[in-house]
Amino acid sequence: MATLTFKDLLEGTDLTSEVKTALQEAWELKVSEAKTELTAELREEFAQRYEHDKSKIVEAVDSFITEKVSAEVMEIAEEKESLAQDRVKYHKAISEHAKLLNSFVTEMVAKEVKELRADKTRVAEHVTKLDEFITESLATEIAEFHEDKKSLVEQKVKMVREGKQQLAKAKKDFIAKAANLVENKISSVITEEVKSFRNDITKARENDFGRRIFESFANEYNTSYLNESKEIKTLQKTLASMETSLTEATAKVEASNDVTKLTESKLKVAQDLMNRKETLIDLMAPLGKEKKEIMSDLLESVKTENLSKQFNKYLPSVLDGETPRAKKTLSESVKKEHTGNKATVVTTEANDEKDNVIELDRIKKLAGLSK
């Protein structure tokens, strides 16, 4: 504001521009010098005030800290002394309590060890008793299971035996009743059929007589009026017979394929039946006739490969205390025939093999596989 005012003053005068410039520079120089001096004075004054205030603040803080520290030190000393006293009391109490705790823990541990030993002894006794009980129960159950299994087999054999007897009785009664019924029915049917047969014979004779008359007339007609078409009819008949033969041959080929498959399955079944028959004969050779029938019924639904196992299973129940007959072993029998200087030896094994071969050949022949 002063500079502006000074400029305004200079502009209101009639001085030259050079003078105005010189005056302006001198004015600014003086102002800057005055600012510098004033700033230095203010700095010095503020520095003195700062130092004075700083000393007072330091003194006040020092006195305050001294008072507080001395009070705190006194309190710490008192607390330290009381802490030392409490520590001494604590150590005394701890030593007394430690002795009591040690004696208490020793007594409790000894008591727990005694109880643990007693429990261990009781558990060992219980385990031994449990093992004995389980062993006895298991042995009893196994014995009962074997008894039940044995009784089941015996009951099955008994049912088969009784069923066979009842079936034989029912069969006998049925045959007796059915014989009377069939005899009456056959007598009535034969009587009716004979009457019908007589009527059919009469009608057949009449039809045969008419057919002969018609054929005589047709032959005469063909001889007289149809000689020219005889060769054509002959060719037509030949063609028809060839077509029929071709159709029959095709049907026979298809039928032969089906028959071959059926024959193979029959051969498999026949081979299994032969093996089964040989096995049954070998197993039931020592048994009597009645026992054989019962055993055959029992083994009827058993597979061929399981026959021996099931036979041994049912054998005690079927025998029911009886001793099986000793199986006769076939020894080689030698037949000598005086045919010059040659001797012919025929064994039973060779006869069995020959019978098997003959049986297979007969089955193949019946199936149409061999001529």
- Do the beta carbons of residue 298 and residue 318 sit within 8 Å? yes
Q: Which two tokens stand for residue 353?
A: 């093999």
In angstroms, the CA 368 to CA 304 distance is 27
Non-local (6+) Cβ contacts of 316 within 8 A are 150, 153
Instruction: State the first-to-last Cα distance of the chain, in angstroms, to the nearest integer.
Output: 154
pLDDT tens across the length of the chain (371 residues):
444 566 667 676 767 778 778 877 888 888 888 888 888 888 888 888 888 888 888 888 888 888 888 888 888 888 888 888 888 888 888 888 788 888 888 888 888 899 998 888 889 888 888 888 888 888 888 888 888 888 887 787 878 778 778 888 888 888 888 878 877 878 788 888 777 777 777 777 777 777 777 777 666 666 655 554 565 666 677 777 777 877 887 777 777 777 777 877 888 888 888 888 888 888 888 878 787 788 878 888 888 888 888 888 878 877 765 544 544 444 444 444 444 444 444 444 455 555 655 665 665 565 555 54
Of the candidates 89, 96, 213, the residue with the CA atom closest to the CA atom of residue 104: 96
> What pLDDT is attached to residue 235?
66
> What pLDDT is attached to residue 329?
45
3-state secondary structure of 262: helix
CA distances from 286 to 75, 79, 295, 302, 323 (A): 121, 116, 12, 20, 9
Of the candidates 332, 329, 331, 358, the residue with the CA atom closest to the CA atom of residue 345: 332
Q: Which two tokens stand for residue 245?
A: 């033969």
Of the candidates 299, 290, 288, 294, the residue with the CA atom closest to the CA atom of residue 323: 288
- Do the beta carbons of residue 332 and residue 347 sit within 8 Å? yes
- Do the beta carbons of residue 344 and residue 335 sit within 8 Å? yes
> What pLDDT is attached to residue 349?
47
Q: Name the pTM for this structure.
A: 0.29
Non-local (6+) Cβ contacts of 315 within 8 A are 295, 324
Q: Which two tokens stand for residue 330?
A: 């076939």
Q: Which two tokens stand for residue 7?
A: 């400029």
In angstroms, the CA 53 to CA 40 distance is 20
Residue 291 CB coordination number (10 Å): 20
> What pLDDT is attached to residue 346?
41
Q: Which two tokens stand for residue 259?
A: 């028959």
- Determine the residue type at 248: E
> What pLDDT is attached to residue 331?
42
> What pLDDT is attached to residue 183?
78
Match 């109880």 to its residue by tokens: 115
> What pLDDT is attached to residue 330?
43
Match 């521009």 to its residue by tokens: 17
Fill in the DSSP letter of residue 323: P
Alpha helices in the chain (DSSP H): 2-11, 17-225, 230-283, 289-298, 307-319, 348-367
